[in-house]
């Protein structure tokens, strides 16, 4: 017989590991809520997020084709399903990690933070699509 890995875990050890991980998650949740409130307190989503208004803000943009849904050769229309990704550094959404242990990211609802204005040109629709 081939040598195998023999592992044993007592039920108490499983519960202890589960309790420790839940405690970490619950503490992180507390720090996330505190940080979220602090970040949105004076945040204006209409204001370009730079320290100095004369500074440019670099927005990284990528597009991934997920699916070609339809090809209409006669009308020369290609219908696709795509995933757009944008990233930038928001000067106002930075924090000291030591003050919020375990919090590496914070999620914001759509419309609550500044987003670049991106328009899709050359669309088959009559109106341009805003992203």
- pLDDT tens, position by position, 45-94: 999 999 999 999 999 999 999 999 999 999 988 899 999 899 999 999 99
Task: Give the integer Cα–Cα distance in Å for 77 and 110.
Answer: 30
Q: What pLDDT score does 44 carry? A: 96
Statement: the pTM of the whole predicted model exceeds 0.85: no
* pLDDT tens, position by position, 4-33: 444 455 555 555 555 554 444 445 688 999
Could you state, in order of their start, the residue ranges of all structural domains in the chain?
A: 11-130
Architecture of the 11-130 domain:
Distorted Sandwich (2.70)
- Rg of the Cα trace of the chain? 24
In sequence order, what E strands does the chain have?
60-72, 77-87, 119-120, 129-130
Nearest to 120 by CA among 61, 68, 71, 67: 61
The predicted pLDDT at position 57 comes to 95
Mean pLDDT over 103-120 rounds to 88
Q: Nearest-CA neighbor of 99 among 31, 25, 22, 27?
A: 31
């Amino acid at each position: 017989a081939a040598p195998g890995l023999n592992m044993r875990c007592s039920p108490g050890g499983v519960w202890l590991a589960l309790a420790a991980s839940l405690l970490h998650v619950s503490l992180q949740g507390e720090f996330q809520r505190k940080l979220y409130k602090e970040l949105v307190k004076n945040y204006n989503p209409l204001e370009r997020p730079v320290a100095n208004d004369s500074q440019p803000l670099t927005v990284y943009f990528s597009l991934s084709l997920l699916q070609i849904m339809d090809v209409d050769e006669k009308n020369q229309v290609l219908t696709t399903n795509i995933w757009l990704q944008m990233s930038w550094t928001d000067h106002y959404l930075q924090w000291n990690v030591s003050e919020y242990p375990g919090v590496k990211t914070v999620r914001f609802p759509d419309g609550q933070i500044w987003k670049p204005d991106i328009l899709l040109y050359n669309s088959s629709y009559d109106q341009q699509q805003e992203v």
